Structure formats: C-alpha cells, structure tokens
Structure 1
Amino acid sequence: MKKVWVLFVALIAAVVLAACGGESSSAPSQTNEGGTTEAGGGEIEEFVYASTSDVAGLSPILTNDSVSANVQEHVYETLFERDTDTGELIPSLAESYENPDELTWIFKIREDVVFHDGTPLNAESVKYTFDKLRDPTTAAPRASLLEPVDEITVEDEFTVKITTKYPYGPFLASLAHSNAAIVSPTADQAQDLMSNPVGSGPFKFVSYTPGDQVVLEAFEDYRDGAPDIKKLVFKVVPEISTAISMLQTGEVDFIDNLPSEQIARIESIQNVDIEKKDGTSVFYLAFNQSRPENQDENFRKAVAAAVDRDAFVGKLNGLGLRSDSVLGPMVFGYNESKNAAGQAYDPELAKQLVEENGYGDRTISLLTANRDNFVLMAEIAQAQLTEAGFNVKIETMEWATFLDTARAGQFDITFLSWANLTQDGSEMFYPNLHTDNIGSSNRAQYSNAEFDELVDASRTSVDQEERLNYLDQANGLLLEQNDVVVMYHGVVTGAMNSEYTNLILEPNGKWTLKDVTRK
C-alpha cells in the first residue's frame, strides 16, 4: 500500500485559500481617518470589505457564486488548500492521505479542529458534508465535485475512506474547492446554514442583514491563532463609484474586481495600495440551447461575427486578456492554438446572415448581472448586435436573482463567468457545459453527446497527456460550433487601505483576510 503524507502535493488545479503570517504586538488604541478604532499593534477592531452585490446564501453546499464564497471561505475550511507561492496542494483539515489503489482514497483528519459551535470536526463531519453535497435531493449546485464518488466510509474517529466509481485524476483538487468545505452536522440539523453558517475557519458568523451586510468576528479558539481583524464586515455598496469614495475616506478598507474605467481614479488615491495579477477566470457569451432557435448554428455564428471582442478588451485598460480559447493560459488543458480558433469579428458576414435568415424579426433577451463589467459587456454587445440587424433587449438583475434566472433558463443569451477554482479544464467543462448538469451549474442548457464523451474521458484518464488531448478537442468543438463566445480572460485586482498588509490575492480571484494586520 502506497502511503503519501501530504506536505506539498502537486496537482493541476486552481488556487483556493492560502495566506502568509503577520505578527502583532500591543500598543495604545488609535483611530484611523474613517473613524475606525483599532487596538494598536497588529490588531484591527473593524475591517470593512465592500461588494456591489449581496450574497446568495451562506452555505457552501447550497450556493455556487463568488460573492457568497468570499464570505464562506472565511467561515469554512476544506480538506486541502493551495500554497500561494508554489501553487501546490497543502493540507488544511486533512493531515494525510493514502491512495492504495486507483479507486480508493483514505484521509486522516486533523484532531485539533472544532467548529464554531464547539462540535469536534472529525471523520463523521466529513462524511456528513460530502453525503449531503452529493445527495440528489439536496440539489447542490456543485454536486458535480463529488460525482465520481461511489461510497464514503468512516474507518475511525479521524479516518474516512472514499471509493470512487472510476479513476479520477483531479480528485484532490476538487476537495480543495470552496464548495467542498466541511460544515458542522450539529448546526446543519438545527438551523439554516444559508443564513446562519457554522464552520471551523478563522472567523465565525455574527449576523446577516439581507441587502446590507454580513458581520463576522475572529474565532478566538482558532487552532492557528485568532486573526488580528476582530470584526470583519462584508458591506453591500451597490455603486462601485461609492465604494471607491468610501475606500478613499477610510469607511471601507478593501475592494476587489476593480472596474477598468475606474483604475486611473483608484491609482490616484494616496492611502490605497493596488495589486494586480493574471487570473484564471473566463467571461463568455452563452446561448440558451434549450431554445430551438439558439440551436441554429448560423444564428450563433452571426452573433459571434457581430461582437468585436478586441474592441471590448481594449476598454478594460489592461484588466483583460483576449483569447478565443475557453480555457485560459493558467488552466490545465489550454492550447495556444485555440487563441484564434473562434469565429472572427466580421460585421458584414453577421449582417448577411441576419438578412438571409430573418434573425432580426424576433426580440432577443440578453440577461446580465448588475456588476460593472457584465453591464459593460451587455451594452457593447447590444450596440454591435443592433448594428448587425438583431433586435436585442437587455434585462439587468441583482446577482442572486440573475443566478436563479439563468439556472432556470429564462433568457435567450447571457454573459457568464467561471473562476476556474481548480484550474483544471475538466472542472470548467463538466459543471458548466456537460449534459449531467443542466438545471444546476450548466446554465447554458448545453447538451452535446460528442462533447460529453470528450469531457468524461478527460476526467477518467490518469494520463495527463491524454487528458490534455481530450480537453483540447472539447475546447475546439465549442469554438467550431460557436457554442461559447469568449469575451476575455480576467486579471485579478484588489485595492486595500495602505495602512494594512498581508492581503493574499489569488489568480482565481479569491482572497483571504485572516492574516491581514496593520503595518
């Protein structure tokens, strides 16, 4: 039996949570520009993050969006996480694992972890969480993370065995995904974790006021030591310009996803530090393929030919990478040859196809979330599609409503995004575009037997070269048929009050504040 003790385990996947340490010391308390009282030294009495959208919910099992995950990743933990510097998996709640054969995984769980409600975190907690996540009656949006699992068995108090239905290369990467975070069984059976979460992370839940804010506080019994931030507020500020003003005055300490049109303004603020790095996220135009009219290849070709993606990326002021490929350069499965494999911008071809097929005779519903770059994409695409002869109406919705509406297939075309948390092409294609996930994470309602076979092969093969080939073929199929029109690949950004340090900003757009301290 081969036994592997996890210190650093190299897998192809995305960056989840990681952080570097920050020292703290005692000092008299003082007040910053925005009036926030701090304990001095490394301690911060209150730290405020501003988001333009409210959370969809606070349970990692029942949600699948970045806004909710930003909160959840400070409350919950996963079996593995990513090392910031090396990109390799390191243990979090798992202490070690064995892989005696290609279908069997045995995990040793740390013995020093407790949930915020005092319940010990053990093998039963892991089994409970994973069984609920993969139970069809739960209807978990990211149940696909555990789709390969056949059986979960508790061997002893801190040992759990997982048997898979087939060899699964990205398995450990899936267990590092934020939606595979471990929840307190006691709390889950007693309350609604969507509004009252209980995890084992560095911060514990205090309150949630829908449409206003989520408040967390430092978990003083956290095994690695309590964070210096004593009160962490996730504040909903619908207008990004307002959030930037609040950052400047000190009412807000941190914002992310900086809008391209506001970069110059933010860079001019003296008390703010900006960080940028190439990201794993992809933003794309998707067709609702449950509607017969969208199954017309010429219709999709006309739309793709009408949209000038280069012009759009030029408006991002360096915060977007142009490529037709659905898989970006930092994602396993990327092939440089796919950078220009999609339909090129050709307004004359678009006009010709619209006229020949009468595509302008019906109104097209373009659904978008009320987030800055989504709205910008929608407005530019609407103008370009209108120029080609289409009749396009934009429907803008708040984030959570947008997610529900898209999942229900109540749109013609829409803009979607994927953070690629696992940094593996299989975990981009399977949840978003595989037939298995129509009605949950496959918001495009896309179903293609050939594509499904390629994705399945990429998931079951343990030969990495084979996997690359399958993913490249699947990527090419999407682009050849214009099933996905890639707008851009993201650049991760964050702006924090320069009084603080040790923010960890990851390529997948996630960040952690547990080690933030005062300079």
Structure 2
Amino acid sequence: MKRNFTFLFTLVFALVLLTACSGEKGASSDPEKSDNGNNGKSNEELTLTYASVTDAVGLSPILMNDSASANITDHVYEKLFERNPNTMEYEPVLAESYENPDENTWVIKLREGIKFHDGTPFNAEAVKYTFDKLRDPATAAPRASLLEPVDTITVKDEYTVEIKTKYPYGVFLASLAHTNAAIVSPTADQKQDLMNSPVGTGPFQFVSWVPGDQIVLKSNPEYWGGEPELKKVVFKVVPEVSTAISMLQAGEVQFLDNLPTEQMKRIESLKNVEVQKVDGTPVYYFTVNHAKKENQDPEFKKALASAIDRDAFVSKLNGLGFRSDSVVGPKVFGYQDSADKAGTPYDVENAKELVKKNGYDKRPLKLLTANRGNFQLMAEIVQSQLTEAGFNVSIESMEWAAFLDSARAGEYDLSFLSWSNITGDGSELFYPNFHGDNVGSSNRAQYSNAEFDKLVDSSRTTVDQNERQKFLNQANELMLKNDDVVVMYHGVVTVALNNDYTGLVLDPNGKWDLSKVTRK
C-alpha cells in the first residue's frame, strides 16, 4: 500500500512539473508578447497594431511632410489648436484662449502645468522656439509657408505668447492646427534628433523604431488629458495591402485606413471588422498644363470638360468617392452648394463638334498619371472618354515620387492631381495648388491667373470669415467657369477597425485619433 502511494505521488508530481515546463516554453510573462490586441482581455495592457503600407520618413513635425510620419507625430505631439471634425471649428488644445487686439496681432494664452515627455515644461518659450525654427530659412522646413506671414513672436510671460503678422492673416488658426505646427520640446530638440526620437506633450510616447518594420508607442501616464486606455500602439509596415487585409482578418493587426476601392467588398465581408466611412476633404481633379499656350484655348478646355463623364467614374469607386463639381469640397471652409453643379456638364456630342471644328484630334496629348490606386483607374476611363470625343491621348504612368517631380516640372499635357487639405480651409487649397506664386513648386497645374490670385490673396489677408467665404467662392466659380480644372471626385475617408475596439475618431481630412480607443 505504501509502495503504491509513493508511485502515485511521484507520477502526479511529474505530470505537474511537465505541465509547468510546457507553459513556460509556450507562453510569456511579457505583457507586450502575451497581449497582441485581440487575444488579451485586460485593458491594463491593451494593444493595437496598425498596418501601414509605407514606413515613416521622420518623426519631427518641423522637418517631415508625409502622411505615414504624420500618423505617428499626431499622437506624440500636440498643436495649439485643433479642428473639430464635427463642427469644423478650430478649438484650443495646448492653447487655452486667444484674442485679436488688432488684425495683425494674436495674443495666445497657453494651458498651464503641462510637461513634455522628457519632463521639461510646456510654456511660451517652447512655442516661440518651435515656431522660430519652423520659419527659419536655415531649417528648410517643408511647410515653413504655414508661418510665412509671421513678423515677430514675443514671450509676454510664461504662458502667454504674442504673434504679430506682416498683414492680416485669415488662415492663421488653420495654420496653427496643422500637423507641421505641433510644438516640440526645445531641450530634446537641442539634445537629440527628433526625426528618430520624438518628444512632445501628446497622449502617447515614443518607444522604438525598427526601420522598415515597425514603430512602437506607449501611453503617456502623465498626459494632461488623462492617460489613454490603449497602452501600446504598434505601427507595422505591411507594404502589400492584400497582406494587410489578411492580417486584419487573422487578428494580427487591428486597424487599416485608406481602404482600396477594389478590396472594399472583401473588407466589408470580414466578420471581425467594422468599416467606418466619412465624406472627406480630399479632392481629385483633371487639369491641363496651363503653362502651355495651346492649352489656354477656352474651346480646348471646354471640349475636354464636355468629354469627361465624372458620374461614370464615380460609379466605379464602390462608395469611396462622391460627385461635386466644386473645387472646394463640402467639408472645406469656403464651400457653397451652388458650386456643386457649376462645372461644364458631360456632353460628348458637343465635345466631338469642338474637336472637329478646331482640329484637336491632330495633336497628340500625353496624359500623365501616378501608377497607384484610383489615379490609374481615372487615367484609363478618361483616356477612353477623350478618345471617343476624337482626342489622341496616350497614358504615361509613373511611380509616385517621379510623377510628382514630372508634374512639378510641367512635363505633361494633361494630368490628374489631388490635395488632402489637412487644414480644411479653402485658402490652403487654392494658394499652394493654383496661385501664381507657387508655379514650379506645389502648383503642379502650372496655373497662373491674375484675377484668381487677387481673390485668393484677399481670402488670406482678412480675418473676417464671412469676407473670406465670399472671396473663396468667387475664386472657385472662376475656375469652374473657365474649365481650368475638372473635379473628378471628392474622397471618402475610410478605416477598418477590429470590432473588439471602439472610440476611434476619424476626421474628414483622413486623420484619426487613437487616444480614446478602448475595448468594447
């Protein structure tokens, strides 16, 4: 009896030991490894992984100018103001309030008691440091133009900054709400490279970056707005969209954005995913190269506009775009619904008559397009429509960077261009894209019209918002009347989020906020 008991005890002990050893080998006590978003149930270490088709370029808001980088910096840094995606009004964030003693003066009162992630204080000196560096020509900041009208920046006291502009600047709040106007830690900027190791005041702190693989953020326990329930965010580089969708289905990633038209049915069929769609600020348009004299012929532009059936194209977008002739979209300041149908209507017979009358069919035309997403689809459909009208059009397709360079240099006859409009302000659509000041740089349409420029300048140099609205509408109607562009569609911004999560805020400009995300 004693012998049997000893054997039984030994056997049970061995099984317990074996089970314990197996558990140590197959699991991890590291919460970062044991909870990859869907698998864990505790909000204490709640993780979300986002799949990005491209890696970030850099993580300093002063020096970067790409959406992949902005997705990270928007969670690490904060701006003085932010546009409310529901009301479209600009609301204080790091600022507490502001006043305009006169048209050229902005006195901004800052929130008190906020610290950067490195423990240094956020104050008026930090604002002055950031803005001075952003507008310093030696910095070569890609969006220095945001503060081009600024004349002086003065620290009045620890939490008050006075900014004087060279002229009344109606777009100022929109500029201060831009990603590139986020406030950096002066101490960190002088000590390290913020492009690789960012330090802001935001809800998330930088942890690590493995180039080409992933960037990791963690929640900021000292965040002035309250620590996020989401404790870890992984920005995972997944170059192939189809692979990213498979990872979303498998629960390996929990979040995608910019959902491709051709994959929408597949994504919407996933049972573990919720798709959000919001009518957005991006606009996609067809243009001639206005620098070429022959393209300034009014009947040439009229024939092109008459030949393009925008409705036929929009129907191919699976709900990811909507039709409006207006260059300024419904989610952008300056929009008037009277412009929705102000463009030249589709009339292929009229187009044929103009082509035959003027001999436009005898001139070969190069249609320049980017080789990605809807640009290629637009090119194929519009080439077919222009050919039906009698034009002789060939497509030249380029990868994105080369396309932008060629468009900037004016190496095309016809093209498709786009603008996301982060600020949501019509002046910040018209000025960079169509003002004569920017031909050869951001004005890739090579558009130059003195009457138009005067209207845009007026929209920028008054702080009376009703007056600004009037000038923007006049500029919009002028372009449409002259067929200077043909608006193909306005974008619908999209995200797909694992349905275990809730609280994601999606802005019409395509940006999103993870600070309120939690598990259902």
Q: What residue in structure 1 maps to residue 8 of structure 2?
A: none
State the Cα distance separating 1:375 from its structure 2 match.
3.0
Q: What residue in structure 1 maps to residue 11 of structure 2?
A: none
State the Cα distance separating 1:402 from its structure 2 match.
4.8
Match for residue 364 of structure 1 among 344, 363, 366:
366
Q: What residue in structure 2 maps to residue 102 of structure 1?
A: 103
State the Cα distance separating 1:124 from its structure 2 match.
2.0
Q: What residue in structure 1 maps to residue 391 of structure 2?
A: 389
State the Cα distance separating 1:500 from its structure 2 match.
0.7
Alignment size in residue pairs: 490
Closer/same/farther in 2, CA of residues 264 and 508 from structure 1, 3 Å limit: same
Aligned mates of 2:231, 2:437 — CA distance in 1: 43
Closer/same/farther in 2, CA of residues 245 and 420 from structure 1, 3 Å limit: same
Closer/same/farther in 2, CA of residues 177 and 366 from structure 1, 3 Å limit: same
State the Cα distance separating 1:325 from its structure 2 match.
0.6
**Which range moved further: 248-257 or 408-417?**
408-417
| Contact 2:31 2:45 survives alignment (8 Å) | no
Q: What residue in structure 2 maps to residue 71 of structure 1?
A: 72
Q: What residue in structure 2 maps to residue 438 of structure 1?
A: 439
State the Cα distance separating 1:407 from its structure 2 match.
4.3
Q: What residue in structure 1 maps to residue 20 of structure 2?
A: none
**Which range moved further: 87-96 or 210-219?**
210-219
- The aligned runs of 1:274-313 (5 Å cut-off) are 274-313=275-314
Closer/same/farther in 2, CA of residues 300 and 191 from structure 1, 3 Å limit: farther
Q: What residue in structure 1 maps to residue 223 of structure 2?
A: 222
Closer/same/farther in 2, CA of residues 358 and 101 from structure 1, 3 Å limit: closer
Q: Where do 5+ consecutive residues of structure 2 fail to align?
A: 1-28
Aligned partner of 1:72: which letter? T
Q: What residue in structure 1 maps to residue 113 of structure 2?
A: 112
User: What CA deviation, in whole Å up to 9, does each residue of 1:291-318 have, x standing for no partner?
Assistant: 5554444444343333221101111222
State the secondary structure of the residue aligned to 1:179.
helix
| Contact 1:29 1:40 survives alignment (8 Å) | no
Structure number with bigger Rg = 2
User: What CA deviation, in whole Å up to 9, does each residue of 1:119-149 have, x standing for no partner?
Assistant: 4322222112222323344443433322332
| Contact 1:32 1:250 survives alignment (8 Å) | no
State the secondary structure of the residue aligned to 1:457.
helix
| Contact 2:300 2:360 survives alignment (8 Å) | no
**Which range moved further: 160-169 or 218-227?**
218-227
Query: Higher relative contact order by CA 8 Å / sep ≥ 6: 1 or 2?
Result: 1
Aligned mates of 1:139, 1:270 — CA distance in 2: 47
Aligned mates of 1:460, 1:214 — CA distance in 2: 41
State the secondary structure of the residue aligned to 2:376.
helix
User: What CA deviation, in whole Å up to 9, does each residue of 1:207-228 have, x standing for no partner?
Assistant: 4445443333333332333333
**Which range moved further: 498-507 or 347-356?**
347-356
Aligned mates of 2:292, 2:361 — CA distance in 1: 14
**Which range moved further: 148-157 or 184-193?**
184-193
State the secondary structure of the residue aligned to 2:223.
coil
Q: What residue in structure 2 maps to residue 161 of structure 1?
A: 162
State the Cα distance separating 1:463 from its structure 2 match.
3.6
State the secondary structure of the residue aligned to 2:340.
helix
Closer/same/farther in 2, CA of residues 320 and 107 from structure 1, 3 Å limit: same
Q: What residue in structure 2 maps to residue 375 of structure 1?
A: 376
Q: What residue in structure 2 maps to residue 170 of structure 1?
A: 171
Closer/same/farther in 2, CA of residues 154 and 34 from structure 1, 3 Å limit: closer
Aligned partner of 1:367: which letter? T
Aligned mates of 1:418, 1:290 — CA distance in 2: 20
Closer/same/farther in 2, CA of residues 132 and 169 from structure 1, 3 Å limit: same
User: What CA deviation, in whole Å up to 9, does each residue of 1:359-382 have, x standing for no partner?
Assistant: 664451513152x22332233233
Aligned partner of 2:252: which letter? E
Q: What residue in structure 2 maps to residue 331 of structure 1?
A: 332
Q: Are residues 1:257 and 2:258 paired?
A: yes
Aligned mates of 1:79, 1:162 — CA distance in 2: 13
- If the length of structure 1 is used for normalisation, what is the TM-score? 0.84
State the Cα RMSD in Å: 3.0
- The aligned runs of 1:268-279 (5 Å cut-off) are 268-279=269-280
State the secondary structure of the residue aligned to 2:113.
coil
State the Cα distance separating 1:470 from its structure 2 match.
1.4
Q: Where do 5+ consecutive residues of structure 1 fail to align?
A: 1-27
**Which range moved further: 86-95 or 318-327?**
86-95
State the secondary structure of the residue aligned to 1:140.
coil
State the Cα distance separating 1:475 from its structure 2 match.
0.5
Q: What residue in structure 2 maps to residue 510 of structure 1?
A: 511
| Contact 1:360 1:391 survives alignment (8 Å) | no
State the Cα distance separating 1:423 from its structure 2 match.
2.7
Aligned mates of 1:213, 1:327 — CA distance in 2: 36
